[in-house]
Structure 1
Amino acid sequence: MTLVQRQLSSNLVKLALVALAYWSAGSLTLQWMKLGAEASPLWLPAGIALTALLIYGEGIWLGIFLGDTFLMLTLGTGWGVILSSAIGSTLSGIIGLKLLRWSEFSPRLSRIQDVTGLIFLAGMVSSLVNATVDTLTQFIIGALSWHNFSQKWWLLWLGDCSGILVITPFLLRLIFDNRGLLRQQSRERMIEVAICGGLLLGLSWLVFVHHGKPTLVLEGGLTNAQYLEYLPFPIVVWAAIRFQTWGAVLGSLLVSILAIVGTLRGIGPFVIQTLNLTQATFLLQFFIIIINGTALLLSATVIEKQRTEKQLRVTLERDRLLAEVSLRIRESLDLKQIFQTTVAEIRQLIHADRVFIASLKDQGIIEVVAESVNGFYPSLLEGSPRDDLFTDIQSLFNDYQPFIASDLTELELPIVVEKYIKYYQVKAALVVPLHLDGKPLGLLVAHQCCGIRYWQKSEVKLLEQLATQMIIAIQQAQLYQQVQQLNSNLEKQVEERTHQLQEKIQEVQELYEMKAVFLQAVSHDLRTSIMGMLMLLNNLQNRPGDNLTLSRSILERMINSSDRQLTLINALSENHFSEERHLVIHCQPLSLKDFISQLIEDWQPLLLQNQATLSSIITDNLPPIYADSEQLDQVFEHLLTNAFKHNPPGINLTIEATVNQGMVCCRLRDNGIGMERQQCEQLFKLYLRSLHDRRRTGIGLGSYQCRQIIEAHGGTIGVNSTPGQGCEVWFTLPIAKSQPSAVS
């Protein structure tokens, strides 16, 4: 079956149901009231016709027409009366529908505007059409005399009006709020319902049925009092105020039924106060219209009052939420916490199924940064929207106005968006864009998933105000990040400048220390040499005679002292020069074993003088080294001199050479007093030898020269020592290969 066929079948079923309901209600009314073709005090089909039109629309008019036609046929009236009744009933219902739509009528009857529209526009104005068409047609065809014209017209008009005010609200409540009737109530509420219903039923039966017999009038019954029919009225008011629309509808319906029953039985206050049944029917119709209209107006007033109070509470909650969000923004810069708390409170305040904040990242990627969702629906945080979704909803970001959709199924959306809202079960949406300086930042979105929703202006305004606060939070966070970045850069610059300043200060301190050591060493060394020479010269001067004989030993001591001074001065000059230019050495293959043997032989006088021994542990298969013999001789001379100078007589020295990692490693060991760890670390640094040992004097250039010579050969030099356990100085030299004759 095609879609058109299914729709046609559905429409035919609706027409048949409406026609059947109209005919059944009319037949029931006429049989119950036993009026035949006479006008009824409460015409049920009028209420059914208006309800059907409100639910199904104008297209259902044919069902009303057919239902009224069949009803009139069963009564055996002529075709003129049949057509006039069917046309009048149909036109009356359609005009009532048009008037209600014009007044923006809501079937929930929760506003005074809805109730007044139902009473005056649908109940009074539209009913005029049916009464006028029906009575005028009957008068034209001769079925109604002019004497009874006005009476017939009033009965028809008031009957239709009563039927609309009694039946239409009852049916609308059954359709739109049937759960409200069966909703579980508290025990106190149920007791109140029982008391109210019992009082209303008892008073209505007492007024309209039991004490309404004519025989009781002479006996002084309750119906002697005029207007006693309004005795149940306070109970109806109670029901309307306490139970709103359902209380008003059921209470007035119960009173109307009992009043009709009593009047049709020829008893009750309306019969007693009038001369005939027609006048009693008029009073009954006025009573039904008054009590139903009053009850509905009271219930709508109470509902509007409650709605106003609720809106006031919502406004207060909205102001509180705005104040709290503003306070959180001022007190915290944690955007994630601010966003998450805000969406949770928004969802609770506006009773939405999902509220979230989406951020627009680079390259058009949408990221949900915070969400509050009803547990019955999927979360956006658990999935990632497709990248091409931004292309389809880009207008939401670029548009500065909110996007409001009460029913998304009525909109023509791209396929990607349709799949998106279908998966996340979105029925209605309210989207507020977030912009900063014309640049889109994201969206603040509220979803309704349980059904369509008509978003209120206050809700739209709330989200707009909160969107402004979100923009302020984002802007504040961006400014804070910029400040942090500037602070970080500033701290980095300060740290760099501080480090540079500390380095300069350390250099200056080292220069001062080096200057102090230099002056101390120079003054000591030069003073020692000069004082020794002066002592010799003074001894010579104190000898008698003009001609003095100078022994060879004294001459040698004078020469050694002068050489010492010259060596010191040359060392200072050479080291200053070497700071400006690299040391140049002349290397050639050299047998280290032969070199050490010759060295031991040359140093025998000094060894004997210091009561020391010097031995060599060098194998015959040691490969030749590639070195400058003169520079290497200076290295050994300085190392041996230091060993004799800083150790007591009688030390034993050993020279050992081995091959290690392609280099020849030489070690000079002694069994002297050793050195501290700090002395070992500073031994080969320029001018710093005496900085850590004030008992030792000298500039310390010799050790520094040794390091320069070894490094010029491509090797390294170091020292290992433990106080009291001797000292070991080691250095490495390259193995002889095909090398150039000079190395820089």
Structure 2
Amino acid sequence: MTVASRDKLRSGGLWVLRIIAVAALYFASGKLGLLQHFMRGQVTPLWPPTGIALAALLLMGLRILPGIVLGSFLIDLTLGPSLPAVLAITAGNTLAPLCSYALLRVTGFRTRMNRFQDALTLVFLGAFAGMLISATVGSTTLSLAHALPPGGFWLTWWVWWTGDATGVLLVTPLLLALRSARWPKDAPPARWAEGSLLVAATAGVGLLQTSPAPLLFLGFPLLTWAAFRFQRAGATPCALAVSTFAILAATRRAGPFAGHTLLTDMISLQAFNGAAALTALLLSAAITARNQAQEKIQEASRRLAEMVARTAPDTGPPALPDTQGDGEENGGRTPPS
């Protein structure tokens, strides 16, 4: 076997492992999302696989698509209601992130998400627009299979769309941030203390979500804090935590979600998740852009100072007048005092 054949075989084996890894992660995260289901045990307000699928496409391209298809088929197979319905739902779950991927590529989305337009396109095109496909295909399939209660189509559609869009809003930015994250070196103890305090405050706000008072707004100061001090590496996990606590309160019909219809709760939850994701992404993008601009200004100032130092003439110290001469200019006589 030639060296080229071995390299090709090794590359193919690596892609097979990546496909299996994406399928396994899709399946495991789907099972985790189903812990907070609303209808038929398969419609949930948070569906992490959509975020994993879109992140995989953005990072590894279309060649990873078989892993998404396999993961979706395996988890849908455990939910039913029939094999034709499973195939249709799998098709919808595959087309949705594929459509989101195409929309983001057309608009010039950058995985670094260091621009305002990256945050806006991810939220409105990647999450809200792309996930209309999976929600529509899935709800229609369940309706045609008579797996929904009478009049339950639109409620199922809204919960489905909320879950798929939330998965993109919260999971995709986190995975993209983790890809470029680096362990902080030589961070002072105060920095670690501030991060620990942020985690504790986020947990405390999460516990308050189950209180009778509507305290969802307390999450936004935390998102601002995380974005300003830790940029994307801190804002995306904070947004995931804050939204997860809100989803838990919604599934338990507690706190600000108590006493309302399920549709009203889903509308409120979707609006909150979208606002939280936008706040985290836009603020972190603004701070990142500011830091980059500051670094460029400092670098330009340094280069300008070096250029001035190189081009300035070397005049040396100024010459002192000769007050001890022999007076040759005056005919050899000492000038009069």
Amino acid at match of 1:150: W
> How many Å separate the matches in 1 of 2:22 and 2:98?
14
Task: Check conservation: 2:36, 2:45, Cα contact below 8 A.
Answer: no
Q: Does 1:247 align with 2:234?
A: yes
TM-score (norm 2): 0.84
1:138-217 residue pairs with structure 2 within 5 A?
A: 138-144=142-148, 147-177=151-181, 179-180=182-183, 182-206=184-208, 208-209=209-210, 211-212=211-212
1:210-225 residue pairs with structure 2 within 5 A?
A: 211-212=211-212, 223=213
Residue 68 (structure 1) aligns with: 72
1:358-437 residue pairs with structure 2 within 5 A?
A: none
Query: Of residues 98, 104, 107 in structure 2, which corresponds to 1:103?
Result: 107
Q: 1:325 to 1:150 in 2, by over 3 A?
A: farther
> How many Å separate the matches in 1 of 2:222 and 2:14?
43
Q: Does 1:303 align with 2:288?
A: yes
SS of residue paired to 2:245: helix
Query: Of residues 217, 232, 236 in structure 1, which corresponds to 2:223?
Result: 236
Range that drifts further, 311-320 or 231-240: 311-320
> How many Å separate the matches in 2 of 1:270 and 1:137?
29
> How many Å separate the matches in 1 of 2:123 and 2:151?
29
> How many Å separate the matches in 2 of 1:147 and 1:35?
13
Residue 10 (structure 1) aligns with: 14
> How many Å separate the matches in 1 of 2:43 and 2:145?
18
Task: Check conservation: 2:80, 2:86, Cα contact below 8 A.
Answer: no
Task: Check conservation: 2:158, 2:263, Cα contact below 8 A.
Answer: no
Residue 264 (structure 1) aligns with: 251
> 1:170 deviation in Å?
1.4
> What are structure 1's unaligned runs of at least 5 residues?
213-222, 333-744
Q: 1:70 to 1:253 in 2, by over 3 A?
A: same
Residue 267 (structure 2) aligns with: 282
> How many Å separate the matches in 2 of 1:25 and 1:35?
18
> What are structure 2's unaligned runs of at least 5 residues?
316-337
1:479-518 residue pairs with structure 2 within 5 A?
A: none
TM-score (norm 1): 0.40
Residue 133 (structure 2) aligns with: 129
> How many Å separate the matches in 1 of 2:158 and 2:252?
22
Query: Of residues 283, 304, 308 in structure 2, which corresponds to 1:319?
Result: 304
Q: 1:186 to 1:74 in 2, by over 3 A?
A: same
Q: 1:79 to 1:96 in 2, by over 3 A?
A: same
Q: 1:325 to 1:91 in 2, by over 3 A?
A: farther
Task: Check conservation: 1:200, 1:236, Cα contact below 8 A.
Answer: no
> How many Å separate the matches in 1 of 2:289 and 2:174?
20
> How many Å separate the matches in 1 of 2:46 and 2:287?
27
Over aligned residue pairs, what C-alpha RMSD do you find?
2.4
1:145-179 deviation line (CA, Å, top 9, x unaligned): 783333222222221111111111112222221x2
> 1:20 deviation in Å?
1.2
Q: 1:9 to 1:194 in 2, by over 3 A?
A: closer
1:523-602 residue pairs with structure 2 within 5 A?
A: none
> 1:184 deviation in Å?
4.2
> 1:35 deviation in Å?
5.1
Amino acid at match of 1:48: I
> 1:282 deviation in Å?
3.1
Task: Check conservation: 1:49, 1:93, Cα contact below 8 A.
Answer: yes
SS of residue paired to 1:75: coil
> 1:58 deviation in Å?
0.3
Which one has the bigger helix percentage?
Answer: 2
1:181-215 deviation line (CA, Å, top 9, x unaligned): x5442122222223333223212312x13x23xxx
Amino acid at match of 1:77: P
Residue 388 (structure 1) aligns with: none
1:527-548 deviation line (CA, Å, top 9, x unaligned): xxxxxxxxxxxxxxxxxxxxxx
| Deviation >6 Å, runs of 4+ | none
Q: 1:81 to 1:174 in 2, by over 3 A?
A: same
Higher relative contact order (CA 8 A, sep 6+): 2
> How many Å separate the matches in 2 of 1:86 and 1:251?
31
Amino acid at match of 2:198: C
Which one has the bigger strand percentage?
Answer: 1
> How many Å separate the matches in 2 of 1:20 and 1:107?
23
Aligned residue pair count: 311
Amino acid at match of 1:154: W
Larger Rg: 1
